Amino acid sequence: MGKTLAEKVWDSHVVRKGEVVGAEAQPDMLYIDLHLIHEVTSPQAFEGLRLAGRRLRRPDLTIATEDHNTPTLDIDKPIADPTSRKQIETLRANCREFGVRLHSLGDAEQGIVHVVGPQLGLTQPGLTVVCGDSHTSTHGAFGALAMGIGTSEVEHVMATQTLSLRPFKTMAITVEGTLKPGVTAKDIILAVIAKIGTGGGQGYVLEYRGSAIRALSMEARMTICNMSIEAGARAGMVAPDETTFAYLKGRPHAPEGADWDAAVENWRGLVTDDDAVFDAEVYLDADDLEPFVTWGTNPGQGVSLSQAVPSPADFADENDRAACERALEYMALEAGTPMKEIRVDTVFLGSCTNSRIEDLRIAADIIRGRAKDPAIRMMVVPGSARVRLEAEAEGLDRVFKDFGAEWRFAGCSMCLGMNPDQLAPGERCASTSNRNFEGRQGKGGRTHLVSPVVAAATAVRGTLSSPSDLDPVPPSGSGMGAPGAFATTPSATPAA
C-alpha cells in the first residue's frame, strides 16, 4: 500500500522506531530539521538546559526572532513595558550564550516567526519543523511536517534535536473547483473549520488537496495550513509542486547548483501515492464558497458573509447550544442579525495568517481610490520587516496611509495583544488573524475573523462587507488626483 505525504516525511525522519509494548506502540523518535524560536515560549527551556548542564545540540538548525512582544511603533526606543523588555532581553542573552542566530527588532529579517522562516528559504519540502507556537502548522504549505510544541518539548528539541511522537492519523481535505473573485484561501480554511469543528482535526495531520489548492500561491497555501490548528489538527500540509519550487528558488537558504537539482528530485517524490489510504476524507466545493466570517468566540463559529448570526436553537447538540448562547452574549450580537449589518470599530490587517506581501496587495487594491469609513480605525502590521520594506518599495504604505490606516512595524501585534496593540473592552474588530477567543485581542474585545479582502471592504463601509458591497471607485479625474483627497470625504452609505 502506498503512503501519504505525511507518512513519507514522518518515515524519513525516524531515528528510532517505538517498540510495541502490549497493545500499544511507544512513540517514534523523530529527527527535527528546523527549530524556530521566539521570546515567549523559550526562556524556561533555555533555563532548563542551563540547570541540567546541557548544550543546545544543533545551533545550526535553530533560528530565533522577536515577534510576540515587540512594539509596532517607536521600535528605535527601548520597549516601554518592563516585563516585555525583560523577556526580549532574556532571549537575546540566551541566544548569545547558546550560539543561536537571532533576528532582533530593527533587523531586516525580524518579524513573525512563521513569516520569517519561509521568506529566508529555510522552510523547505520534506523537513520536520517545530516551534513553541501552535501556528507552526503554517510551514506545512511547503510539504514540510510542521508542528507547534510546548516549552518542555522546546527544551527537548534544544537538547536532542528530536521529539518523541506517536504517529498521527491522516485526513485528506479535498477542495475542487475555482474560487469566485473576492473569495480567498482564508475563506477556504474558515469554511473547513466550520465544517469539521474545532476538534474535528484532533489527532490528524491534514493534507489539503484538489484543484483549488493547486491553483493557490505559496502565501495562500500558508494561510490555509496556518489555521489547521484551529481545526484541532496538529499539522496541515500541501504537496510541493512547481509553485513551491518557484517560490524557493533563489531564496537565501534555498539549495544551489547541484544541491538544488538533488533537492528538487527529492521533493518531487513528496506526494501522496495514488494507492495510499487516508484515515478520513473531507470534501469542499470551491465554486460554492463565499467570503466567510466568524460570529462567535471560537473559529468554528463562522458563516458566509451573506448569512445571519445563528440562534442557539439552530444547534442540536446541548454543548453547542450553550456555547452559542455564551458567544452571542460575549459578542453582544442578536440572533438573526445579517452579518453585513454588524458595525465594527477596528480593522486589523496582520498576523501569521495574513500579513504577507500578497495580503497587503489584495487589501491595497480594494482601498485604493476609496475612502475609509471615518469611524473605523485600521491597523496594518506587515508580518516581517522584509515584507514592510517590500510593500514600501511598491508604494503600498502610501495607499494605506492615504486611506487613513496606521502603517506599523512588524510583529504579532493585535493578533494576541501581548504588546500595546490591544482592543478596548467592548471594541469590535474585523481581524485577518486566526483566533476569535474571548479577550484574545484585548480584554473584553470582540473579534470577527475575516480575509484581507473582507477586512479592506469593511474598512470602507464600516460594517462587515465584501468588495461587491462597495460603490465603484470614483473616477480619478486628471489621473493625478491624490488618493488622499478621498480620505476626507465621508464614506458612501450603502444603498438603502
Partner 1 sequence: MEKITTHTGIGVPLRQSNVDTDQIIPAVYLKRITRTGFEDALFAAWRKDENFILNREPYTRGSVLVAGPDFGTGSSREHAVWALKDFGFRAVLSSRFADIFRGNSGKQGLVAAQVAQDDIELIWKVLENEPGATVTVDLQARTAVCGPVSAPFQIDDYTRWRLLEGLDDIGLTLRHEPDITAFEATRPGFRPTTLPVRT
Residue 288 as a binder of partner 1 (CB under 8 A): the answer is no
Q: Are 248 and 234 in contact (CB under 8 A)?
A: no
Which residue's CB is nearer to partner 1, number 222 or number 418?
A: 418
- Other beta carbons within 10 angstroms of residue 121's beta carbon come to 17
Rounded-to-integer distance, Cα 124 and Cα 470, Å: 40
Binding mask 113-142 vs partner 1 (x if CB under 8 A, - otherwise)? --------xx-x--x----xxx--------
- Other beta carbons within 10 angstroms of residue 252's beta carbon come to 9
Among 435, 446, 448, 461, binds partner 1 (CB under 8 A): 435
Which residue's CB is nearer to partner 1, number 159 or number 335?
A: 159
Among 196, 225, 331, 416, binds partner 1 (CB under 8 A): 416
Cα separation values, 326 from 71, 339, 483, Å:
33, 18, 43
Rounded-to-integer distance, Cα 415 and Cα 435, Å: 8
For 29, the 3-state DSSP assignment is: strand
Which residue's CB is nearer to partner 1, number 104 or number 151?
A: 151
Q: How far is the CB of 350 from partner 1 (least distance, A)?
A: 15
Give the binding range for partner 1 (CB under 8 A) out of 188-196, 279-287, 333-341, 437-445: 437-445
Rounded-to-integer distance, Cα 27 and Cα 163, Å: 9
Among 7, 66, 67, 69, binds partner 1 (CB under 8 A): 69
Of the CA atoms within 13 Å of residue 135, those in its CB half-sphere come to 22
Q: How far is the CB of 96 from partner 1 (least distance, A)?
A: 14
Which residue's CB is nearer to partner 1, number 248 or number 396?
A: 248
Which residue's CB is nearer to partner 1, number 84 or number 458?
A: 84
Binding mask 21-50 vs partner 1 (x if CB under 8 A, - otherwise)? xx-x-xx-x-x-xx-----xx-xx--x---
Residue 152 as a binder of partner 1 (CB under 8 A): the answer is yes
Beta strands in 335-400 (DSSP E): 346-349, 377-380
Cα separation values, 424 from 352, 421, 436, Å:
22, 10, 15
Which residue's CB is nearer to partner 1, number 33 or number 469?
A: 33
Among 3, 92, 159, 215, binds partner 1 (CB under 8 A): 159
Residue 166 as a binder of partner 1 (CB under 8 A): the answer is yes
Angle at 51 between CA 49 and CA 53, to 5 degrees: 65
Rounded-to-integer distance, Cα 453 and Cα 225, Å: 19
Residue 312 as a binder of partner 1 (CB under 8 A): the answer is no
Residue 104 as a binder of partner 1 (CB under 8 A): the answer is no
For 129, the 3-state DSSP assignment is: strand
Q: How far is the CB of 448 from partner 1 (least distance, A)?
A: 16
By CB under 8 A, what part of segment 259-278 binds partner 1? 259-260, 262-263, 266
Phi, psi of 342 (to 5 degrees): -80, 120
Among 167, 177, 210, 417, binds partner 1 (CB under 8 A): 417
Among 439, 485, 492, 494, binds partner 1 (CB under 8 A): 439
By CB under 8 A, what part of segment 174-233 binds partner 1? 198-199, 202-203, 229-230, 232
Q: How far is the CB of 259 from partner 1 (least distance, A)?
A: 4
By CB under 8 A, what part of segment 355-414 binds partner 1? none
Q: How far is the CB of 442 from partner 1 (least distance, A)?
A: 9
Pull the grid cell for residue 86: 525583560
| Residue with cell string 498576523 | 351
Rounded-to-integer distance, Cα 231 and Cα 233, Å: 6
Q: How far is the CB of 77 from partner 1 (least distance, A)?
A: 18
Among 55, 78, 83, 482, binds partner 1 (CB under 8 A): 83
Q: How far is the CB of 291 from partner 1 (least distance, A)?
A: 24
Which residue's CB is nearer to partner 1, number 110 or number 463?
A: 110
Q: How far is the CB of 52 from partner 1 (least distance, A)?
A: 7
Which residue's CB is nearer to partner 1, number 54 or number 343?
A: 54
Q: How far is the CB of 429 from partner 1 (least distance, A)?
A: 15
By CB under 8 A, what part of segment 318-347 binds partner 1? 319-320, 322-323, 326
Q: How far is the CB of 378 from partner 1 (least distance, A)?
A: 22
Cα separation values, 213 from 87, 109, 406, 456, Å:
39, 28, 32, 24
Rounded-to-integer distance, Cα 410 and Cα 228, Å: 23
Which residue's CB is nearer to partner 1, number 49 or number 364?
A: 49
Residues 293-324 as b or e (16 or more Cβ within 10 Å = b) = bbbbbbbbbbbbbeebbbeeeeeeeeebeebb
Beta strands in 247-337 (DSSP E): 280-285, 292-294, 302-304
Residue-by-residue DSSP string for 398-454: HHHHHHT-EE--SSSGGGTTSSS--PPTT-EEEESSS---TTTTSTT-EEEE--HHH
Residue 75 as a binder of partner 1 (CB under 8 A): the answer is no
| Residue with cell string 452609505 | 493
